[in-house]
C-alpha cells in the first residue's frame, strides 16, 4: 500500500510541529509544507511566553508536558529562557495551584500582597497599577522562547528529515468533481499540488481561504465561534534604558488595560503586548461576511493605528509606572485565529473527506510547539483521545469552555 501524501498549509506553530512529527512517524511519506516567504503570522515573533498557569486543567497538563521539552530537548532548549512570571490580576490564583496539583506537579509559586509585590524584584513593580488586585501570583517555573528562531529550527529539522518546503501562497483548496474530497491545493501562481491529506494550519488566513475555495458551500465555512483576530505588540525604543529589566520576570497584567512584557536580552528586545483584541470584518466577493487580516503580503502588520499604539503604551505604564523611561516603537499587528472557547482546533473537517484543520492558537498556543504535532498526527490517524476530539472539534459548541476574555468584539475600522 503506498504511503499517504500530506500537504500542510502554514508553517507556524501548528504546521511546523505537525511536519516534524509526521516525518518522524512516517519517514517514507511525501510531506509538503507550504507557506509564504513573508514572516507575518502569530507564530513569527521575537519572543513568546512559556507558562503553565491556566484555569483549565487540560491546558495546564499540556503546558507542563511541553515545558519538559522546552527545558530539556536539544531542539528547543537553546531558545528557552527560564524566568519567573508575575501575574497582576483580579483572578483568584488558587485555581492555578490546584490544576498543577491535579497534574501531579507541586508548583514553585508564591502569593504576594500588593505591598510585598511593590518591593519584590528590586522594586520593579512599585509603580504598577494594582487597582482591583488583592493577590499577586508569581510562578518561578515559567519562561519565554526566542520564537522566530526556534520556529525556523523546527522547520529546518523537518526539512533535514525529508519534508519538502515550498515558499508560496496557497490560493484555494482543490476538491474532486463531487466536491466531497480534498485532493490538493492551488498556489497563487496557478500551480497545483496534489495530496491525499490536506491539513490547514494557516491561522488567521483560514476564513478567507475557505471562502475562496468553496464560496457556495456554507457547510465548509468556519462557524460563528471562529474568528480571525489581532493584538498589538511593541518594542522598547533604542533610547530606552532597559538594563534593569535584563533577566527580570515576565509580567502579565489582567486588570485595566491588559497586557504584559517579556524581558530583553542583548539579542532580543524588551517586548510589550496588549491583550485587547480586534477583528477585521469584510464582505467576501461571494457575498458572505468573513473575518480576515487586511490585504497585503504582510497583512499590513506594521500599519498600526495611533489609537491602538496608545493603548499599548498605557498598558505598559500600568505595569512599570509613568516614570520608567521606557518608550515604545516597532508597533506590530499580530494576527491569529481564535475560537470563542479559546480551544484549539485539531479536527477532520466534518463536511469534506481528506481535509483536516489544525490551527486556532487563540493567542496562547506557541508554548505547545514541542507537542502540538503529536496530537495532530493522532488526529490524522484516528487515534486522538475522544475527549480531546470533542474539545478540539471544528464544530465545537459556541461558548463551550473558558471565559472568552480575548474573543474580539472591536473592529479594526473603528481605529
Grid cell for residue 89: 490580576
Mean pLDDT by 10 residues, the chain (415 residues): 84 97 97 86 88 97 98 98 96 94 97 97 96 96 97 97 96 95 96 97 97 96 94 95 95 94 95 94 96 88 92 96 95 94 96 98 96 98 97 80 64 88
- Please give the pLDDT value at position 2: 56
Contacts of 289 (CB under 8 A, 6+ apart): 281, 282, 283
Structural contact between residues 14 and 201, judged by C-beta atoms closer than 8 angstroms = yes
- Please give the pLDDT value at position 4: 87
pTM value is 0.96
- Please give the pLDDT value at position 1: 42
Q: What Å distances lie between residue 183 and 11, 82, 347, 355, CA to CA?
A: 20, 44, 17, 9
Grid cell for residue 383: 487515534
The DSSP-derived string for 93-145 is THHHHHHHHHTT----EEEE-HHHHHHGGGGTTTTS--TT-S-EEEESS-EEE
Contacts of 49 (CB under 8 A, 6+ apart): 85, 142, 143, 144, 250, 252, 260, 262, 366, 367
Structural contact between residues 41 and 12, judged by C-beta atoms closer than 8 angstroms = yes
Contacts of 61 (CB under 8 A, 6+ apart): 103
Q: Which run of H or of E encompasses 42?
A: none
Amino acid at each position: 500500500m503506498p504511503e499517504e501524501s500530506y500537504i500542510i498549509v502554514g508553517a507556524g506553530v501548528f504546521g511546523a510541529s505537525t511536519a516534524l512529527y509526521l516525518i518522524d512517524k512516517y519517514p517514507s511519506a511525501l510531506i509538503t509544507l507550504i507557506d509564504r516567504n513573508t514572516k507575518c503570522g502569530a507564530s513569527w515573533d521575537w519572543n513568546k511566553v512559556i507558562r503553565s498557569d491556566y484555569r483549565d486543567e487540560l491546558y495546564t497538563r499540556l503546558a507542563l508536558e511541553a515545558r519538559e521539552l522546552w527545558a530539556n530537548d536539544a531542539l528547543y532548549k537553546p531558545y528557552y529562557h527560564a524566568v519567573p512570571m508575575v501575574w497582576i490580576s483580579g483572578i483568584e490564583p488558587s485555581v492555578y495551584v490546584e490544576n498543577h496539583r491535579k497534574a501531579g506537579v507541586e508548583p514553585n509559586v508564591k502569593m504576594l500582597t500588593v505591598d510585598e509585590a511593590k518591593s519584590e524584584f528590586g522594586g520593579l513593580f512599585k509603580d504598577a497599577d494594582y487597582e482591583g488586585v488583592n493577590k499577586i501570583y508569581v510562578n518561578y517555573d515559567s519562561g519565554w522562547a526566542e520564537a522566530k528562531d526556534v520556529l525556523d529550527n523546527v522547520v529546518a529539522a523537518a526539512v533535514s528529515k525529508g519534508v519538502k518546503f515550498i515558499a508560496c501562497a496557497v490560493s484555494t483548496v482543490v476538491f474532486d468533481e463531487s466536491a466531497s474530497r480534498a485532493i490538493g491545493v492551488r498556489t497563487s501562481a496557478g500551480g497545483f499540488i496534489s495530496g491525499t491529506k490536506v491539513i490547514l494550519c494557516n491561522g488567521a488566513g483560514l476564513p478567507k481561504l475557505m471562502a475562496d475555495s468553496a464560496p457556495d458551500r456554507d457547510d465548509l465555512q468556519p462557524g460563528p465561534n471562529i474568528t480571525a483576530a489581532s493584538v498589538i505588540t511593541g518594542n522598547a525604543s533604542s533610547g530606552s534604558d532597559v538594563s534593569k529589566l535584563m533577566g527580570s520576570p515576565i509580567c502579565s497584567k489582567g486588570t485595566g488595560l491588559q497586557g504584559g512584557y517579556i524581558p530583553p536580552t542583548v539579542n532580543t528586545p524588551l517586548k510589550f503586548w496588549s491583550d485587547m483584541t480586534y477583528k477585521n470584518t469584510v464582505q467576501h466577493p461571494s457575498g458572505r461576511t468573513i473575518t480576515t487580516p487586511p490585504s497585503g503580503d504582510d497583512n499590513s502588520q506594521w500599519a498600526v493605528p495611533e489609537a491602538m499604539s496608545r493603548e499599548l503604551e498605557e498598558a505598559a505604564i500600568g505595569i512599570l509606572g509613568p516614570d520608567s523611561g521606557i518608550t515604545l516603537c516597532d508597533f506590530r499587528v499580530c494576527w491569529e485565529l481564535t475560537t470563542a472557547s479559546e480551544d484549539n482546533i485539531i479536527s477532520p473537517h466534518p463536511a469534506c473527506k481528506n481535509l483536516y484543520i489544525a490551527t486556532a492558537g487563540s493567542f496562547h498556543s506557541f508554548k505547545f510547539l514541542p507537542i502540538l504535532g503529536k496530537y495532530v498526527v493522532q488526529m490524522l490517524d484516528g487515534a486522538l483521545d475522544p475527549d480531546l476530539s470533542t474539545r478540539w472539534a471544528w464544530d465545537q459548541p459556541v461558548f463551550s469552555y473558558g471565559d472568552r476574555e480575548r474573543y474580539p468584539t472591536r473592529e479594526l475600522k473603528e481605529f
